[in-house]
A and B are shown apart, each in its own frame.
Chain A
């Protein structure tokens, strides 16, 4: 099926949920409401004509000040059987920064969702092992948010673990061979 046809099928099935369908090149994105995301995803996964068995990618995007809802979670789905793909997006407001986890549908979403939380602070409810993944567990802030600075003027104070490292270095100086 062409991406356009898939998008229309989703629209006909979940009429009130689909907010927007955009196209770029041969790729189509469907912006949906986050409330029924699990339902939509299960439909895409299990429907025999769509059969999106493979979650290519899951990531977040921060549209601070550029769109009405600050975050979006982007799902790239592909059906290996039918060789077609679609992009599903779910808008997430900053105030209610959470969405249902799709780990039960695609096991591979596990680490992607953790990364999405790590980088954007979007919570995924129902995730089996929800914690940071790339950043240290005690890191403050979510680095890929647009209001997170690229380079901090705080220097060494940026991460409190760094101070610990410096202290350890200081403590172990006595073992140094001169």
Chain B
């Protein structure tokens, strides 16, 4: 008797298509994936533990290293969460600047996404076209804060420094030019028959399943669920901006691709509105904690339930714990920060709800029963960055 045995291959952690150090153990029957087991944790740096041992402003640079493709969004997510926790209100101008930055980051992230996704599927030229355009956004970052990748530009209570006219001009020019660039990508892949064959009907996850698995961002919206934190629980200037949330309907890789392409255009419109409406004023709230906020001696916020803070490393008494979960819509999905505050300047518990972590967990569902080539398309479509996944 001949015995049938699945071929198990180890895709990653060093593999060109796994976007970092994701490891998938695939069991193959011919070209069909029978079982897919993701292994993560190769990039685990204990960000949550580190955050618990730093003051709030000091933990801010850690968030850069989560999703290093869109570090600005992570910073903003963190700052929004800490502001909500400490009861600080950022000035209006800072809110608008942050919104511009968040949307620029969304474009930059989606550019990297379309680049790698297309490269994985084999369309090489899109990769280089999009990298050219990402450069412009990185230059814009450099213009406002001097850094390109790990920016740490937003601050708790605002942003570090004001934007100038040069940035505004460049930004206006960018939003004017970028729609043409999007069309360039679309010309290359949008109606390409091979691209359609590779993406339409691949990696289907129904709306109910997508919600059940906790997917967020364009990955969820591709299944037709119009859930967007910017709409559901607005932060920064999103409640004063008019924009749409693009949704797909076929729940497949192609619809998720279309969603992200439409988000490009929405982001451009948001940036344009913000630039037009940009109010004058301060960019950093006066009650913002200083960057060298000493451990155990935070500034006392007037009227804040935190009250007087005891000096020293640990408060041994049983004080009430403040808990706060704050979500922001980063390009990959919902980035949540859950803080437990015991009254010191350090979070007692800092939990990061990373969209990539949740998205990576859905891979077995997407991949099992499909072909090896679809695994690549599926890894691309959920848009994961392992720095964020492993924290």
Which A residues contact B (CB, under 8 angstroms)? Answer: 22, 24-25, 27, 29, 53-57, 59, 61-63, 65-67, 74, 76, 80, 83, 87, 106-112, 115, 119, 132-136, 143-144, 148, 150
Top 4 closest pairs, chain A to chain B, by CB = A108-B214, A134-B41, A111-B361, A57-B353
Contacting pair A108 B336 (CB below 8 A)? no
Q: Are B212 and A76 in contact (CB under 8 A)?
A: no
Are A150's CB and B49's CB within 8 A?
yes
| B-side contacts of A25, CB under 8 Å | 84, 324
Closest B residue to A61 by CB, please name it: B349
Bound together, the chains give a CA A16 to CA B325 distance in angstroms of 26
Instruction: Among B49, B232, B324, point to the contact of A83 (Cβ < 8 A).
Output: B232
Known: A27-B324, A56-B336, A136-B41. 18 other contacts (CB 8 A): A24-B323, A25-B324, A53-B211, A57-B325, A59-B353, A65-B316, A80-B227, A80-B232, A106-B214, A107-B212, A107-B365, A111-B358, A115-B357, A133-B41, A134-B390, A135-B41, A143-B46, A150-B49
How distant is the Cα of A150 from the Cα of B46 in the complex, in angstroms?
9
Size band of the interface chain B makes with A? 35 or more
Contact assessment for B336 and A57 in the assembled complex, using a CB-CB cutoff below 8 Å: yes
Contacts known (A80-B227, A108-B214); A27 close to B325, Cβ less than 8 A: yes
Shortest C-beta distance, A70 to chain B (Å), equals: 13
In B331-378, the 8 Å CB interface with A consists of: 334, 336, 338, 340, 342, 348-349, 351, 353, 357-358, 360-362, 365
In whole angstroms, what is the CA distance A101 to B214 when docked? 16
Residue contact A135 to B211, C-beta cutoff 8 Å: no
Q: Are A54 and B214 in contact (CB under 8 A)?
A: yes
B44 within 8 A of A: yes
Q: Mark B319-335, 1 if CB is under 8 A from A, else 0.
A: 01111110100000010
> Judging by beta carbons under 8 Å apart, are A107 and B213 in contact?
yes
Contact partner of A144 (CB less than 8 A), chosen from B41, B49, B334, B365, is B49
Does A27 contact B214, Cβ atoms closer than 8 Å?
no
Residue B318 interfacial (CB < 8 Å)? yes
B357-A56 in contact (CB<8A):
no
Q: Cβ of B206 < 8 Å from any Cβ of A? A: no
B318 CB contact (under 8 Å) in A54, A66, A111: A66
The B1-59 residues at the A interface (CB cut-off 8 A) are: 40-41, 44, 46, 48-50, 52-53
Choose one: A54, A55, A133, A143; the contact of B49 (CB below 8 Å): A143
List 19 interface pairs A-B (beta carbons < 8 Å), by A numbering: A53-B211, A57-B338, A59-B338, A59-B353, A63-B321, A76-B325, A76-B353, A80-B232, A87-B325, A106-B212, A106-B213, A107-B212, A108-B214, A108-B358, A119-B48, A134-B44, A134-B390, A134-B391, A150-B49
Residues in A neighbouring B41, C-beta threshold 8 A: 132-136
**With contacts A66-B342, A107-B213 known, is A76 near B323, CB below 8 A?**
no
A110 to B327, CA, bound (A): 21
What A residues does B305 contact at CB under 8 A? 24
Given contacts A57-B325, A107-B212, A107-B213, contact A144 B338 (CB under 8 A): no
Contacts of A22 in B (CB 8 A): 320, 323
CB of A53, distance to nearest CB on chain B (Å)? 5
Tell me, in angstroms, the Cα distance from A27 to B227 when the chains sit together.
Answer: 20
Is B94 interfacial (CB-CB < 8 Å)?
no
Is B225 an interface residue, CB under 8 A from the partner?
yes
State the CA gap A66–B319 with chains docked (Å): 8
| A135 and B44 in contact, given A66-B318, A66-B342, A83-B232 (Cβ under 8 angstroms) | yes
Q: Are A76 and B214 in contact (CB under 8 A)?
A: no
Q: Which residue of chain A lies nearest to B337 when distances are taken between CB atoms in the complex? A: A57
Name the residue of chain A whose CB is nearest to the CB of B44. Answer: A134
Residues of A within 8 Å of B357, CB to CB, are 111, 115
In the bound complex, residues from chain B placing their C-beta under 8 Å from that of A55 are: 214
